Structure 1
Amino acid sequence: MNIPGDEFYILILDTLKKRGAETLQRALYLALREAILHGRLQAESRLPGSRVIARQLGLSRNTVNAALEQLTLEGYLLRNRQGTRVAQLAKRNIAHPSPEPVVTLAKRVSLFPAPTPRGTPVPAFTPGTPAINYFPLPLWRRLYDRVLREEGSALLAYGDPAGELSLREAIARHLALSRGITCDASQIVITEGALEGVNLCTLLLSEPGDIAWIEDPGYAGAKSAFAKTGLTMVGMPVDDEGMCWEGQHSDAPSLIFTSPSHQFPYGSVLSARRRLALLELAQAQKAWIVEDDYDSEFRYTGEPVPAMSGMIKHAPVVYLGTFSKTLFPSLRIGFMVLPPALAKAALPAIGALLRGGHRAEQRTLALFIEEGHYARHLAAMRRLYRKRYRQLREALNAELHVEHRVLAGEGGMHLTVAIDGIDDKAIVQQARAFQLAPAALSGYYLDTNQGQTGLVLGYGNTSASQFTSGIRRLQHLITLQQGGTA
């Protein structure tokens, strides 16, 4: 069946005149595709030869042929020695498209915690963000350029799935000095932040339906990872000695997730008594402890608290660390330390799950550690955060008049302020209008409607000059919510 000549060319010419910034080839392609989809060029219709179309439209034959070839490649046209005809497409009414479908996500998505807003610039009181403006960027750039100069295009290929050997060796030496962990590079796997380490633990060490103990309140990323892999989460309360499972009723867990050196968000330290008891329980139940050591480098009184993984021989502990908190978040480099037997058993799976990448960044970080820059940066940040911690405590004492309790210990980059009877989620939402981004304490609980209310105040990337005005603004919002006079 031949197409109507004049109507066809008038339609195409009209479309070409309105092409805007499109090339003639692209405009012709779009016009023909539109005519096919809307049924103006019906299935099995024969098109004139490219020479005829070019003459009628005033185009070059190459332009026409290129458009026809693209439509043929995509299946709209069929071309052979007998000519060009319109392909038979699935019947659908383009003029009356279907209504937008109702999207139903998987049930597990409802278990995910609310996301933390991210953006630039970072608002005041955002938890978990280090003082990125203090990072020695010129030094990092020089080291990065040096790596590229020495290694060149070799770094553009896939690397070892476990990560660059030089970085794993540097981390092993650092952990031996700073965390009392004796390990070698073969036990270390480089991850894209600590969250990927949690994901790997769930894949390697549990099955869907297994029980995972988590701190309640606790790290939202762990909840996402456990929900994603179909684990049954059981929340364990937190007190001044850290995770408190004694007296709780639960079936035996496969995974136990804890942040023993500086619990998030309460800030408590898991006592030696509970550490040893938890290790004993894990051994007896054949469970694995996932130790999240996210900010233990920032301890303001005494020495850093030793890691659980170094407390006993053959401890059933996978140790997680991250450079997102000690250096800068977008680096997205973390690591996990596996016990020797687990590292050997997991090696084939690691090769299947990871590909190895960010090689230049990993080599740069290895140099940063080995040449002493990392230790110096940590010392400088420890001094800065210690000062900010104390200044924030002073601002809270002076400006926060509602009854409250400060729960975080002397360490890390955040303070948690427990305040009974407030709608902390609403306060957090309102605070964003004033470039303040504290987190709602209740949001870190498994049941966000039943937990302690309050505010988690990050001070890592917040200047002390913002503390007084920021706390005063939060007090104002709390007063309004409680029906008082601002």
Structure 2
Amino acid sequence: MNIPDDAFYGLLARAIEQRAGETLQRALYHALRNAILSGQLQAQSRLPGSRSMAQQLCLSRNTINAALEQLAIEGYLIRDRQGSQVATLPQTATIESSAPAEFCLPAHLADLPPGTRRDTPTLAFTPGTPAVNYFPLPLWRRLLDRVLREEGATLLGYGDSAGEASLRVAIARHLALSRGIDCDASQVVITEGAREGLNLCTQLLSERGQLAWIEDPGYFGARSAFISAGLPCQGLPVDDEGMISPAAPTATPRLIFTSPSHQFPLGSLMSAPRRLALLDYARSSDAWIIEDDYDSEFRYSGEPIPAMLGMVPNAPVVYLGTFSKTLFPSLRIGFMVMPKALAKSVQPAIHSLLRGGHRAEQRALAHFIEEGHYARHLASMRRLYRKRQTQLRAALAQELTCPHSVSAGEGGMHLTVKIPGIEDGMVAALARQYQLAPGALSHFYLNPAQGETGLVLGYGNTSASGFVAAIRILNRLIEQTRRVQG
């Protein structure tokens, strides 16, 4: 050996003494492995025999041999009739090698927007979070129990890659009634939230380097999905009629992401002329529109606005929806609806890219929709959110003393308060100390330094009883940050 016997046995004795709940065999194994990796036991050096080690350490030979045999199986030792010899390992395997170099993200991921922080429990004013305490949990538990009782072990396999047939049928029927989309189950693919639907769109419809148009300001997730797929993003401004397409585009997009029924975060509704013009442009340019319809169910005045997918025959539109915003976030069930021809063409790829799963939850959700519970829950939440929006507007008018304007349209689960000239990121960060989590409006822009400033206030998860006190706190924080700026 390259270390003296007394040092060798001292090393093993200390490992046995400090084994902290490990078995004697595992303590010996770890001590010898670490000594080999650190270079204390050099390559080709021979260890004492198992009999000698057992006598010196007062252990059984079985314990010694079990540890040595495990090291031999993993390639740290070579055992033969002459005993145990330390194997020759690459130098890079040593524990005391130099510190690893700082990891850098691949170049195409460097521009990813900051991730959204998810708090448990959810903080007040968190955008995009529904009133989960109003979800009929006992009913949901009964539906799950019924599915498991009736179908049991048959639901433990992967299932159809495109999702459970019963849920796809239920979604198609619901969309025909609520969104004016004429589709059948073959056009519906169940996804793990709308974000997986976005990722599928990039995989099925685009190639790395092709351009994507996104709303500016807009949804973080779309930008992240496109950037991670290697698609450069061009931000298009948004006004009261929705996304503004350039009159003379300098480059043709392959994907166009928009939320026409309730733009996030500004809340505007895309006008019919703009929708039709965008459909014409996409058709003539061989582009695909990705229609994000995440909270169109919560419209508080007039009739529901039909989806773009149902406006004209064979529209070049892939429609995305999610139950995370209408039911509860951890459900993680979304869906995409494709035109018939596209759905047929990509079916083999869907089977390669997806594996199915969450079968019991999908079957329970199908019952929830088909038995009318979903429609009743939406109606109940619509009444609740309409009332909360009115109360939040009143609290803002009463308590927010700085110049501001309120937008976010006639629906949804958030209000956007435009407040010129504030450090909205600083206000949002300070607000977390008071268990408030508004979004900073500027952070939803491709270039936050050039975006409008303000706060995005989600009221879906926030009781109206706390609105006045919370706005009072935000008003104080805005004044505090202004003094710092000044």
Please report the TM-score for the alignment, with normalisation by the length of structure 1. 0.96
Residue by residue over 1:260-316, the C-alpha shift from the partner in whole angstroms, topping out at 9 and shown as x without a partner, is 000000101111111111111111111111000000001111221110100111011
AA aligned to 2:376 is R
CA contact (8 A) 1:425 1:443 kept: yes
CA contact (8 A) 2:299 2:411 kept: yes
AA aligned to 1:417 is V
TM-fit CA distance, 1:246: 4.4
CA contact (8 A) 1:3 1:46 kept: no
Deviates more, 1:12-21 or 1:244-253: 244-253
Partner residue in 2 for 1:131: 131
Deviates more, 1:97-106 or 1:154-163: 97-106
Deviates more, 1:168-177 or 1:33-42: 33-42
Question: For the residues of structure 2 that align with 1:65 and 1:356, how far apart are their CA atoms?
Answer: 46
TM-fit CA distance, 1:81: 3.7
Query: 1:403 aligns to what SS in structure 2?
Result: coil
Question: For the residues of structure 2 that align with 1:406 and 1:299, how far apart are their CA atoms?
Answer: 17
1:257-336 superposed matches below 5 A = 257-336=257-336
Question: For the residues of structure 1 that align with 2:226 and 2:484, how far apart are their CA atoms?
Answer: 42
TM-fit CA distance, 1:241: 0.6
AA aligned to 1:274 is R
1:188-199 superposed matches below 5 A = 188-199=188-199
Distance 1:180 1:92, change over 3 A: closer
Deviates more, 1:55-64 or 1:337-346: 55-64
TM-fit CA distance, 1:62: 2.6
CA contact (8 A) 1:3 1:45 kept: no
CA contact (8 A) 1:3 1:47 kept: no
Distance 1:216 1:151, change over 3 A: same
Question: For the residues of structure 2 that align with 1:176 and 1:425, how far apart are their CA atoms?
Answer: 41
Partner residue in 2 for 1:442: 442
Deviates more, 1:67-76 or 1:335-344: 67-76
Question: For the residues of structure 1 that align with 2:78 and 2:95, how far apart are their CA atoms?
Answer: 24
Partner residue in 2 for 1:114: 114
TM-fit CA distance, 1:197: 0.7
1:176-191 superposed matches below 5 A = 176-191=176-191
Residue by residue over 1:390-423, the C-alpha shift from the partner in whole angstroms, topping out at 9 and shown as x without a partner, is 0001001101111111111110000011111111
CA contact (8 A) 1:403 1:419 kept: yes
1:379 and 2:379 aligned:
yes
Question: For the residues of structure 1 that align with 2:149 and 2:3, how far apart are their CA atoms?
Answer: 62
CA contact (8 A) 1:213 1:236 kept: yes
Gaps of 5+ in 2: none
AA aligned to 2:145 is D
Question: For the residues of structure 1 that align with 2:27 and 2:190, how far apart are their CA atoms?
Answer: 49
Partner residue in 2 for 1:101: 101
Residue by residue over 1:335-374, the C-alpha shift from the partner in whole angstroms, topping out at 9 and shown as x without a partner, is 0001000001111111111111111211111111112111
CA contact (8 A) 2:3 2:40 kept: no
Instruction: Give me the identity figure in percent.
Output: 67
CA contact (8 A) 1:148 1:360 kept: yes
Partner residue in 2 for 1:350: 350
TM-fit CA distance, 1:52: 3.4
Partner residue in 2 for 1:362: 362
TM-fit CA distance, 1:375: 1.1
1:109-258 superposed matches below 5 A = 109-247=109-247, 249-258=249-258
TM-fit CA distance, 1:202: 1.1
TM-fit CA distance, 1:16: 0.7
CA contact (8 A) 1:190 1:333 kept: yes
Question: For the residues of structure 2 that align with 1:66 and 1:387, how far apart are their CA atoms?
Answer: 70
Partner residue in 2 for 1:471: 471
Gaps of 5+ in 1: none
Question: For the residues of structure 1 that align with 2:335 and 2:164, how far apart are their CA atoms?
Answer: 11
Please report the TM-score for the alignment, with normalisation by the length of structure 2. 0.96
Distance 1:152 1:69, change over 3 A: farther
